[in-house]
Amino acid sequence: MDETYKNYKEAVELLQSFFKKAQQPQMDAELKSPNVIVEPAEPLIQSAIQLLKRKDPNFFIGIRKIIVHTEPHYGHVSSGPKEDPSVIYINLNKINSSLSKQLIEEIATF
C-alpha cells in the first residue's frame, strides 16, 4: 500500500504540473516582435506603422498581421477556436472616406 500511494502521489503531482503548464499562455515568438505584416502591401499603412513604432517601439507587440480588405465596418479582430486574434482586418477605403469627409467639414468651418 505504501508503494501504491507513493506512485499515486507522484502521478498526481506530474499531472498537476502538466495542467499548470497547459494553462499558461504559449507566447508566439512572432507576437513578441514589433514586426507587422501588411497584406496586401500598402505604403500608407507601412508609413503609419513606422511612425507609431518610432513613438512606441512596443506598440505592435501582439499583432501578427494587418489585412486590408472590404467589409461593412472600419475593421475587426476575430476570435474563436480557428481564428487568430493577432490578425487585424481593416477597411482602408472606408477609413479614407471618413477621414476625407472630416477634413472637408473642418476646412469648411474655417
Q: Mind listing the pLDDT tens digit for each residue in 47-71? A: 888 888 888 888 888 888 889 888 8
Distance CA 64, CA 89 (A): 11
**What's residue 10's pLDDT?**
73
Between 27 and 91, the more confident residue is: 91
3-state secondary structure of 75: strand
Q: Assess whether pLDDT exceeds 80 at residue 31.
A: no
How distant, in Å, are the alpha carbons of 36, 43, 61, 62, 66 from that of 56? 14, 20, 10, 14, 18
- The pTM score is 0.61
Distance CA 98, CA 55 (A): 25
Neighbours of 60 (CB within 10 A): 19
